[in-house]
Amino acid sequence: MSIPIEPFQHTLRATVSCCGVGLHSGRTVNLSIKPAPVNNGIRFFRTDISSKKHVQAHMDKVVDTRLATTLGNEDFQVSTTEHLLAALQGFGIDNANVELDSPEVPIMDGSAEPFFQLLKVTGKTRQNGLRRVLRITRPIYYRDGDKCLTISPYNGFKVTGEISFDDTIIKKQRFTFDLCADRFGDEIARARTFGYVEQVEELWANGLALGSSLANVIAIHWNRKSVLNEDGLRYHDEFIRHKVLDLLGDLALLGCPVLGHVEAYKAGHAQHFGLMQAIAASPSCWDIVAMKKNGTHAVLDKVAARSKSASSLLMPFFNYKPGAAVSAV
């Protein structure tokens, strides 16, 4: 069966760099994205500390999901990883080393667009290594109160997000997205993070969001009818598009491309991580397949791993809560 995923791994053609501020720390951050070898994955290195270790962009390295996704090891942490990881996934980068001199990825303009444009400038190069793909074979469900996510079989990678707010400007929004570089750049990358003015003020009072401003956050007016940003919205439904962007970035922590359709309702970082835990805890509902090139098409070559033997390829699900995942029968 032909599938819409490039079979070969890719990395950047050359190093790219940027400078910005951390959303919560307010500190200046210098960040570089460098080419990396086959099967390297995405790795984060801190240049402001003595440790030479790295943090792999993988779900078993998640240490916090409040306000943003934070990865860590015994030596250091890196937070607000989701926009950068979404850009890397949207551009089709499998292997890269990310170096930064701060515990936080710079927020830039609040979207993935600056990172995506950096990647477009340098381009990507095909590597001599085939991808492995996580193929969903049966539906998997995750629920947390009124927030829920489902991933089900699909010949591609599709995300459907839905949010519902009790205000005039957001109300109920729904957006569906099939992942490819062109659509990512046009429809998802520019969607910015958002918040209510009073929430931002509360975060400031608690020493958080010190780098936030109208240059990197959509600030929703107290009246819930408009935004304070003079340039308005980039999309009429920018709020749900940003939620889909966050979801794409978090799901990159599965560590490989996905064949499946994710549906998310009112979900945030904690629920995204919950779905990944549910996937890891349901090995009978997926397998990991290798890819090969067949003429102009990418096809599945063979099952590289399946069922319980493959769960270690995702994560040792230390924090999984029994009952969170319900598999279809």
Torsion of CA 249, 251, 253, 254, to 10 degrees: -150
Helix 82-91 to helix 238-251 angle (10° resolution) is 80
Closest CA to 15 of 162, 124, 91, 137: 124
User: At CB < 8 A and 24+ separation, what contacts does 324-327 make?
Assistant: 324/142, 324/143, 324/144, 324/274, 324/277, 324/278, 324/281, 325/140, 325/141, 325/142, 325/277, 325/278, 325/279, 325/281, 325/282, 326/140, 326/141, 327/138, 327/139, 327/140, 327/141, 327/282, 327/284, 327/285
Instruction: Name the active-site residue from 54, 242, 269, 272.
Output: 269
Name 12's Cβ contacts closer than 8 Å, sequence gap at least 6.
33, 34, 35, 93, 96, 119, 122, 123, 124, 125
Per the annotation, the verdict on 24 as an active-site residue is no
| Cα–Cα distance measured from residue 260 to residue 133, given in angstroms and rounded to the nearest whole number | 10
User: What backbone phi and psi angles, to 5 degrees, belong to 112?
Assistant: -95, -5
Q: Which two tokens stand for residue 298?
A: 């990418």
Catalytic center residues: 269
